[in-house]
């Protein structure tokens, strides 16, 4: 049955509509944004495809991993902290604005399995994704 389910992130028609504007915004962001903003933007783009490693983000930003880590340190943070914050923000967005399952959200955030996502979400927020979804749906 899973083989017949649509792939959550693949929709060529939608991509062709959104891609030009997303590329333009990314270009604007790259010109004016802080290093943290730039890393977050790349992570948002790359996490659903499982490419959230520091080396992959550094390559996209046209710098070495060490330079990226040094710039993030200069900004008072680390790659892992930006990754964690980005995943948390995206998880809350998905929970509050979609009917995606926990497994689908885990995949979109680049987790190996849903259990890893559930543990991480609990560490970030002190609650479960289900409880967070209920709270977010009540406030919107």
Question: Could you tell me if 95 and 102 are in contact, meaning their C-beta atoms sit under 8 angstroms apart?
Answer: no
Residue 30 has a pLDDT of 64
Distance CA 130, CA 140 (A): 16
From first to last of the 140 residues of the chain, give the pLDDT tens digit. 766 666 666 667 767 777 888 888 777 766 777 999 999 999 999 998 888 899 999 999 999 999 999 999 999 999 999 999 999 999 999 998 888 899 999 999 999 889 999 999 999 999 999 999 998 888 76
Helices first, then strands: H and E counts in the chain: 8, 0
Each residue of 116-132: b (16+ CB within 10 Å) or e? ebbebbeebeeeebeeb
| Phi, psi angle pair for 88, to nearest 5° | -60, -45
How far is it, in rounded angstroms, from Cα 43 to Cα 82?
9
């Amino acid at each position: 049955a899973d083989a017949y389910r649509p792939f959550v992130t693949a929709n060529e028609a939608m991509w062709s509509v959104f891609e030009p504007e997303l590329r333009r915004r990314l270009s604007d962001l790259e010109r004016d944004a802080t290093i943290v903003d730039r890393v977050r933007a790349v992570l948002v783009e790359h996490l659903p495809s499982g490419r959230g490693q520091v080396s992959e983000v550094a390559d996209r930003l046209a710098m070495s991993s060490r330079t990226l880590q040094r710039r993030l340190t200069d900004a008072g943070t680390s790659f892992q902290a930006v990754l964690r914050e980005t995943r948390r923000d995206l998880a809350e967005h998905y929970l509050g604005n979609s009917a995606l399952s926990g497994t689908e959200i885990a995949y979109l955030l680049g987790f190996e399995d849903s259990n890893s996502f559930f543990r991480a979400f609990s560490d970030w927020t002190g609650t479960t994704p289900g409880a967070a979804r209920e709270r977010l749906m009540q406030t919107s």
